[in-house]
A and B are shown apart, each in its own frame.
Chain A
Amino acid sequence: MAKTKRLVYISLLVTMALVLSLIERNIPVPFLTPGAKIGLANLVTVVALYSLPKKRDIIMMIVVRLFLTSIFGGSISGLMYGSMGALLSFLIMIFIKEVLKDKVSMIGVSAAGAVFHNIGQVIVSICIVRNIGVALYLPFLSVVGIVTGIFIGLSAHYVMTYIYRLQIGNYLISMRE
């Protein structure tokens, strides 16, 4: 039973991420960095980070999400950009959350996640176009990343208040504690 609940919850997160990715695709990014995304789907990663007790589940959620996003009108290069961004962003968020624990709020965690999402994409861009010039976009991307990161942190915070209210939330909290 617990396993089913967890699977349903993970599926719910994946669905949310998928919808956010599709919405994001229709938001033009005012920079020319190939494949640059503001990383709205990071919201779901932040929520997963604070609600799923097992890191394995979070990784599974991210992998399924990336895979499905690329199927839904994405491309292989999009998957490459997305994967690198998602991986770096996940690693930095988990690192900050584990090291600083209560000293940092969701805002700091997701801002770092957003910026490292951009860094990941820039690294892939450099590898693909073989020009380090794209790295000069990083300050612009980072400002956007920090702003979206703060926005995502706030949203994740409010989403969490609802998740905690759900029974599934209680269950997840009880599992964490």
Chain B
Amino acid sequence: MSIKLKKWDYIIIVILIIISFIPYVFFKGLIGEKTAQVYAYITVAGELYNEIPLTGQVSRKEFSIDTKYGKNTIVIKNESIAVVASDCKDHICEDFGYKGEVGDVIVCLPHQLYIEIKSNETMSKNQDIIAY
């Protein structure tokens, strides 16, 4: 009893390979859009405090940055970030409003808080997937 590959075995294997590439063709564009990750780069007194991804961040998220310099309340929604409340003396940081474009900045000088919107172009598709 010997086994022989039949014509349909080859056909099936070719079909299987084609099937496995279907999601790649369909979702490639969709995933490609996510490669340009925009994030908020937050520093306090020149030191990195946190990096918060803005891409895909549509729902409202609130948190506070509480340091020895003071407290700022941050809100992230619709892929943008804002300082909504601050116990600093000038409250200029609150006036910046929502920022989400690459290069935008929000500054709170009394608290030495600096938020810059950056884009991580180097974040490749593969890294994006590996993160999951």
Contacts and interface: CB of A to CB of B under 8 A. Distances in A.
Interface stretch (A8-16, A36-44, A125-133): A125-133
A111 interface: yes
B87 interface: no
B16 A146 contact: yes
A18 interface: no
Task: Tell me what chain A mostly uses at the interface: helix, strand, loop, or mixed.
Answer: helix
A101 B11 CA distance: 14
A164 B24 CA distance: 43
B6 A136 contact: no
B30 A132 contact: yes
A100 B17 CA distance: 19
B3 A135 contact: no
9 contacts: A104-B9, A105-B4, A111-B13, A111-B16, A115-B20, A139-B21, A142-B20, A145-B20, A146-B17
B132 A129 contact: yes
B34 to A, nearest CB: 8
Interface residues of A, number: 36
B6 A134 contact: no
B12 A111 contact: yes
Interface of A: 32, 96, 100, 103-108, 111-112, 115, 118-119, 122, 129, 131-139, 141-143, 145-146, 153-154, 157, 160-161, 164
A129 B24 CA distance: 18
Contacts of A118: 20
Given A107-B3, A141-B20, A157-B3, 8 more contacts: A104-B6, A107-B5, A122-B23, A135-B23, A139-B24, A142-B19, A154-B3, A157-B1
Nearest to B34: A133
Interface in B6-45: 6-13, 16-17, 19-21, 23-24, 27-28, 30-31
B13 A136 contact: no
B132 A131 contact: yes
B24 A135 contact: yes
Contacts of A160: 1
Contacts of B132: 129, 131, 133-134
